[in-house]
């Protein structure tokens, strides 16, 4: 019988340097900074030139994520797992470049309610590792899109008077 510890140890295996899995993992590592930079600017109208450094940082992290996403999409897919990771990257790219809130809302709902459709089937070797990365990407997408949704429950939690958000309107990013 395989234990949970054994399964976790298997997740730590190294991928070949130029594999799509490595490119997807690189893409995943860009997302936390992009989300953090966007969260810093959340609710700020951008009317203070002194805050330009935060806008520059947010733009730079978005561009880094876009470049990593494009690298995933440019790599050749050699199997079911690679194609699954590319589908998720393609959805991210669509959201990153979309100016249509209805399209973004549709993709968000699809990613949230039909997660099974993005996952690698159980009969593919390494499916747990791939699905773990795909779920991380879908969670990051949901978090990122929720930053713009004023009706999202997490947006209300962030504006609850915590140290990061003192309830004042248009205070700009936190230092």
Read off the pLDDT band of 91 (50, 70, 90): very high
Q: How is residue 75 written in tokens?
A: 């790599």
**What end-to-end distance do the CA atoms of the chain give, in Å?**
50
Domain spans of the chain, in order of start = 18-42+50-158
Question: Is residue 127 within 8 Å of 120, Cβ to Cβ?
Answer: yes
pLDDT of residue 11: 47
pLDDT digits (tens, 9 = 90+) for 109-151: 988 888 889 999 999 999 999 999 999 999 999 998 888 765 5
Question: How many other CB atoms sit within 10 Å of the CB of residue 165?
Answer: 17
Q: How is residue 36 written in tokens?
A: 């953090």
Q: How is residue 145 written in tokens?
A: 């899109």
Check if CATH label 1.20.120 holds for domain 18-42+50-158: yes
pLDDT of residue 73: 96
Q: How is residue 147 written in tokens?
A: 């930053």
pLDDT of residue 3: 37
More confident site: 168 or 49: 49
Question: How many other CB atoms sit within 10 Å of the CB of residue 8?
Answer: 10
Lowest mean pLDDT among 43-52, 69-78, 139-148: 43-52
């Amino acid at each position: 019988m395989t234990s949970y510890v054994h399964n976790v140890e298997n997740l730590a295996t190294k991928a070949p340097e130029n594999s799509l899995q490595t490119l997807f993992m690189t893409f995943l590592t860009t997302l936390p900074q992009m989300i953090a930079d966007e969260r810093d600017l959340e609710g700020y109208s951008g009317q203070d030139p002194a805050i330009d450094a935060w806008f520059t940082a947010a733009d730079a992290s978005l561009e880094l994520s876009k470049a990593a996403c494009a690298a995933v999409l440019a790599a050749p897919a050699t199997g079911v797992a690679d194609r699954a990771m590319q589908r998720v990257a393609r959805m991210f790219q669509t959201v990153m470049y979309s100016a249509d809130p209805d399209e973004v809302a549709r993709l968000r709902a699809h990613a949230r309610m039909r997660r099974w459709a993005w996952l690698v089937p159980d009969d593919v070797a390494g499916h747990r590792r791939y699905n773990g990365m795909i779920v991380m990407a879908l969670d990051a997408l949901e978090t990122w899109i929720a930053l713009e949704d004023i009706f999202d429950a997490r947006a209300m939690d962030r504006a609850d008077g915590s140290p990061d958000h003192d309830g004042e309107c248009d205070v700009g990013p936190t230092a």
